[in-house]
A and B are shown apart, each in its own frame.
Chain A
Amino acid sequence: DQQVKQNSPSLSVQEGRISILNCDYTNSMFDYFLWYKKYPAEGPTFLISISSIKDKNEDGRFTVFLNKSAKHLSLHIVPSQPGDSAVYFCAAGKTSYDKVIFGPGTSLSVIP
């Protein structure tokens, strides 16, 4: 049973436009969420996180939105750049539990 879902395996966006990557989770006990970015042949790198006490966190071109009632979060990248082309993993964890559960990833292609 997949606790963290990313239903879009891939996404293509024009350079300069907004990229929206979506993530859904099933476990209401999750209280923090992270996004990682992965280039081929490299390990994932941390991008941005959000705690369940917030509904938005912004860092430069990256903003994460959390809708707890819908058990949904999204990562917005504005403006998208070709260097943003990578696989993006959503991850979720809970304070009392040390594992972080990763989603299957969404491959983003930003077209120049």
Chain B
Amino acid sequence: GAGVSQSPSNKVTEKGKDVELRCDPISGHTALYWYRQSLGQGLEFLIYFQGNSAPDKSGLPSDRFSAERTGGSVSTLTIQRTQQEDSAVYLCASSLVLGRNQPQHFGDGTRLSIL
């Protein structure tokens, strides 16, 4: 497709379950980013990929969060043993290359609700 695609668009799950969120970046975009937006909050940076590599994982909120990217394309963000504070909209973005003056193109997000 033409834009960044995220799935699922909505996910409701019980506390303690694992969830996997998927991001399909724009074809040819080498840089990929994950953010989360909690209710009434701005965009919180989580992690970025340059190709398949994530040089800095310090933005991930806890060790229950992990992300991977394969083939320089699709990325998955996995949250293990979900907690209620994980409820948020998780946004993925991609850009042609990493670096300055590269606008990021965002997907519409996955709204995650933990019961």
Contacts and interface: CB of A to CB of B under 8 A. Distances in A.
Interface stretch (B11-19, B40-48, B62-70, B74-82): B40-48
Contacts of A36: 106
B25 interface: no
Contacts of B56: 98-99
Contact of B101 (A51, A89, A99, A103): A51
Residue among A36, A99, A100 with most chain B CB within 10 A: A100
A89 B42 contact: yes
Interface in B77-115: 91, 93, 98-101, 103-109
A51 B42 CA distance: 22
Contacts of A62: none
Given A43-B4, A43-B93, A44-B91, A102 B100 contact: no
A82 to B, nearest CB: 22
A31 B40 CA distance: 27
A98 B106 CA distance: 17
Given A43-B107, A45-B106, A95 B43 contact: no
| Main SS class of interface, B | loop
Given A99-B48, A100-B45, A46 B99 contact: no
Contact of A95 (B31, B35, B100): B100
Interface of A is mostly: strand
Given A98-B48, A102-B35, A102-B45, A43 B108 contact: yes
Contacts of B55: 98
A41 interface: yes
Interface string B7-36: 000000000000000000000000100010
14 contacts: A41-B108, A41-B109, A43-B93, A43-B107, A43-B108, A44-B43, A49-B101, A93-B100, A98-B31, A98-B99, A101-B45, A102-B43, A102-B45, A104-B41
**Top 4 A-B residue pairs of the complex, sorted by shortest distance between their CB atoms:** A43-B106, A104-B42, A46-B103, A102-B43
